[in-house]
Structure 1
Amino acid sequence: MAISIGFLIFPQIQQLDLTGPYEVFTAAAGTRVDLVWKTREPVISSTGLAFQPNATFADSPQHDVFCIPGGAGVNALLEDEAVLDFVRRQAAGARLVTSVCTGSLVLGSAGLLQGRKAATHWYAMDFLQAFGAEPVAERVVRDGNLITAGGITSGIDFGLAVIAELLGAEEAETVQLALEYAPAPPFSSGTPDAASATVLAAARQRLSGSRQQREAILARMAS
């Protein structure tokens, strides 16, 4: 029987949070991947790409692996009880409960990170503590059946780690080779510690709008 993998998708999703691990999962032998949302209407990502859900909250099967990507659209999910209830139901029966980037904040809002180690995007790391999680600045973090990935591109590493867990290292390595995943970035500015002060300030400014909205939501939730 195929391993069932479900992605929660939503308006303003960060497309690479989804498509990075999606590419890995669909390249592996013996997997089935579903995109799940409230309806089957197309979902538009933060960069304008449209994704077509093939399952809804009402008819989604229980998945072996359940994953929440991140993106600006996460903010609306943090207070959406229909989403959080679906997340809790999937998490209760999943073999692995997972997230990419700020998707971990949705797991936190659903009450699934209390006392757990977790990762997220570097500019959202401090938010994890609001949900009782222990922030860990790594690309892939495992705590029991919880696997969370850092920001955006970490989703590819995460996908390979999940395939290795489910189907063995050889299958994960085969997928890695098939995708020619051998990153050698032209610049060494992929983390806050490696980036120059000027680049770090520019990135913080570019991400500030979504962060300010998130701060307001968490303040409201806390009160």
Structure 2
Amino acid sequence: MLAQIVLFDGFDPLDVIAPFEVLSAGAAAVGGRLEVRLVGIDAPGPVTSGTGGLQLTATHVLAPTEPGFVIVPGAAGPVSADPDVVDTIPVLLARVGETGLPGKVRQAFSAPDTVVATVCGGSLALAMAGLLEGRHAVTHHLGNDVLEATGTHVVHARVVDDGDLVSAGGVTSGLELALHLLDRQFGPQVAHAVEELFEHERRGTVWRPIGSQPLPA
């Protein structure tokens, strides 16, 4: 199976690198049953992030119906009220909707063995493209009000597992997202081994729409 991490112009590097490292370690732990790729939306090649001009190389093109995970990062860039600064994070995320990614994510949602996962503003990019209405998700705390305005049910949790959609909050939550995906697919022993390797303990409870609902406080 594949873990495909999508690169687009202005992506946040940590949103990409944290899941990439965790899932790569998980792939080694399961004997290569998982392949981790950095993918372009329409073509392979270098893609420039929103942080300091850092570039990463997409080695493949996104194959949305392949079994596994399609992981969409958030964006990085200047946060300014200055109208002359156009590459703000909301603008970068909105531009994702003008690419071929929304169509490919729709294909991923329709594939029986594919899970769409997002880190930080990745869920907001998909929501603004009209893909998450009625779903449970989370984004960076600064964007949750916008996420809610798209018709998404915002859950204030570190990781939200809504079946074929798994989302994570702020930037470093990409670690928790990837560990949860390993746990979900390969079990807790694999996830725990990767936690020990990176000396990282997962934060928070993974929210899922199952079980008893708590009574009002």
TM bracket (short chain): 0.7 to 0.9
* Structure 2 residue ranges without an equivalent (≥5): 76-88, 204-217
Deviation (angstroms), 1:27: 0.4
Aligned to 2:79: none
Aligned to 2:132: 113
Deviation (angstroms), 1:89: 1.5
Question: In 2 relative to 1, CA 42–170 (structure 1 residues): closer, same or farther, beyond 3 Å?
Answer: same
How big is each residue's C-alpha offset from its partner over 1:101-120, in whole Å with a ceiling of 9 and x where there is no partner?
01002222343312111010
TM-score w.r.t. the length of structure 2 is: 0.76
- Please, what is the CA RMSD of the aligned residues? 2.0
Equivalent AA in structure 1 for residue 121 of structure 2: T
2:182 aligned with 1:163: yes
Please give the alpha-carbon distance, in whole angstroms, between the structure 2 residues aligned to 1:110 and 1:36: 20
Question: In 2 relative to 1, CA 7–24 (structure 1 residues): closer, same or farther, beyond 3 Å?
Answer: same
Please give the alpha-carbon distance, in whole angstroms, between the structure 1 residues aligned to 2:103 and 2:65: 15
2:87 aligned with 1:85: no
* Structure 1 residue ranges without an equivalent (≥5): 185-223
Aligned to 2:34: 31
Please give the alpha-carbon distance, in whole angstroms, between the structure 1 residues aligned to 2:154 and 2:93: 18
Aligned to 2:213: none
SS in 1 for 2:100: helix
2:73 aligned with 1:69: yes
Deviation (angstroms), 1:148: 0.3
Please give the alpha-carbon distance, in whole angstroms, between the structure 1 residues aligned to 2:199 and 2:95: 36
Please give the alpha-carbon distance, in whole angstroms, between the structure 2 residues aligned to 1:133 and 1:13: 22
SS in 2 for 1:42: strand
- Give the counterpart of 2:45 among 38, 41, 45: 41
Runs of 4+, deviation exceeding 6 Å: none
Task: Verify the 8 A CA contact 2:120 2:139 in the aligned structure 1.
Answer: yes
How big is each residue's C-alpha offset from its partner over 1:172-199, in whole Å with a ceiling of 9 and x where there is no partner?
0001101111489xxxxxxxxxxxxxxx
Task: Verify the 8 A CA contact 1:87 1:110 in the aligned structure 2.
Answer: no
2:159 aligned with 1:140: yes
Aligned to 2:80: none
Equivalent AA in structure 1 for residue 34 of structure 2: T
How big is each residue's C-alpha offset from its partner over 1:102-159, in whole Å with a ceiling of 9 and x where there is no partner?
1002222343312111010011001112321111121101112211000110110111
Task: Verify the 8 A CA contact 1:44 1:51 in the aligned structure 2.
Answer: yes
How many residue pairs get aligned? The number is 180
Task: Verify the 8 A CA contact 1:67 1:98 in the aligned structure 2.
Answer: yes
Task: Verify the 8 A CA contact 1:85 1:110 in the aligned structure 2.
Answer: no
Q: Percent identity?
A: 32
2:89 aligned with 1:56: no
Task: Verify the 8 A CA contact 1:84 1:106 in the aligned structure 2.
Answer: no
